[in-house]
Amino acid sequence: MKVLLTGAGGQVGRCIQDVFSCTNHELLPLDRGQLDITDKERVLDVVREFSPDVIINAAAYTSVDRAEKERELARAVNALGAENIAIAAMQVDALLIHFSTDYVFDGNKTTPYIEEDATNPQSVYGETKLEGERAIRRVWGKHFILRTSWVFSEYGNNFFKTMLRLAREDNEIRVVDDQYGCPAYAGDIATACLKICETDAEKKYGLYHYAGNEVVSWCEFARAILSVAGQRGKIASMPKVAALSTIDYPTAAKRPSYSVVSSAKFVQEFSLPPSNWVEGIERTFFYGEMR
């Protein structure tokens, strides 16, 4: 199977390369410098030349706060770029796997969001990701859209890395404790992609949620990360992790207070468990030491 991967330099893209390196599939990983998905003609040319069976679009604008000031750039990547990829996939009859976000929801529920729930993004980032979803559905039916949540790994910049850095710099860290999600380890997301590729999935096309198996606040997540860091000797001393309310930690972009998504549909269709974020923390440290 020939697989073209965009956004290969990001944390999900790099984990996909790791997972696919253990298979016989022919993977062509392209980072932003090699393929800018906002360049429609370039996208069409590259896809036409490689003629993949599957395109995995891991390219995205993910700076949630900066997007409030860079709406057009966020839209160019997350919406128009996604549309370009869908058009290219259609032209070569390739399966398209695309990633979206829990931030398409407003956070007003108190039970996990399912795929049929109404969307109501509260930020430019969420709006542009939802626009990308809609563009893909409009252009090309042979697709899987995976909404995920609070992604972390040994690669790139993410909450996990930020907590480690702060723990090495300060003896007290203040973290929001009234926003809830279900963190997803990027390696598990990569495994989910491989599962899709290797499944006779024609009758399963569409929208899925795939994220962590347990609900946690940012503060609880931080404490779990630093607990393992302390056990592994990754920090000299354990800082105090103080709980903070959202109102006391203003950000440019509004975050949903509850963005937990249910992976039940994906689990049922593909017989793959949700991401285990507790194990993901251990794996992040382990693979971080290996690489």
3-state secondary structure at position 147: strand
- CA dihedral of residues 31, 208, 47, 156 (deg, nearest 10): 0
State which amino acid sits at residue 13.
G
Q: Looking at the domain assignment, is residue 218 inside a domain? A: no
Residue 202: per-residue pLDDT: 75
Q: Looking at the domain assignment, is residue 87 inside a domain? A: yes
pLDDT 10s digits, 121-160: 999 999 999 999 999 999 999 999 999 999 999 999 999 9
Q: Looking at the domain assignment, is residue 85 inside a domain? A: yes
Question: What is the distance between the alpha carbons of residues 91 and 240, in angstroms, rounded to a whole number?
Answer: 55
Residue 290: per-residue pLDDT: 65
Structure tokens at 174: 């203040």
Question: What is the distance between the alpha carbons of residues 174 and 170, in angstroms, rounded to a whole number?
Answer: 10
- CA dihedral of residues 234, 239, 242, 246 (deg, nearest 10): -50
State which amino acid sits at residue 73.
L
Q: Looking at the domain assignment, is residue 41 inside a domain? A: yes
- The pair phi, psi for residue 110, each rounded to 5°, is -125, 5
For the chain, what is the domain count? 1
Q: Looking at the domain assignment, is residue 77 inside a domain? A: yes
Question: What is the distance between the alpha carbons of residues 88 and 222, in angstroms, rounded to a whole number?
Answer: 40
Structural domain for 138, as ranges: 2-152+184-211+261-275
Residue 291: per-residue pLDDT: 62
Q: Looking at the domain assignment, is residue 287 inside a domain? A: no
Q: Looking at the domain assignment, is residue 236 inside a domain? A: no
The alpha-carbon radius of gyration of the chain (Å, integer) is 19
Residue 255: per-residue pLDDT: 97
- CA dihedral of residues 233, 234, 235, 238 (deg, nearest 10): -60
> Over the range 19-55, which residues count as b (16 or more CB within 10 Å of their CB) and which as e?
bbeeeebebbbbbbeebbbbebeebbebbeebebebb
Q: Looking at the domain assignment, is residue 222 inside a domain? A: no
125 is catalytic: yes
Q: What Å distances lie between residue 269 and 100, 196, 213, 266, 274, CA to CA?
A: 19, 10, 16, 5, 12
Q: Can you give the CATH number for the domain in which 117 is found?
A: 3.40.50.720
Q: Which residues of the chain have pLDDT under 70?
A: 290-291
Say which of 61, 103, 113, 125 is annotated catalytic.
Answer: 125
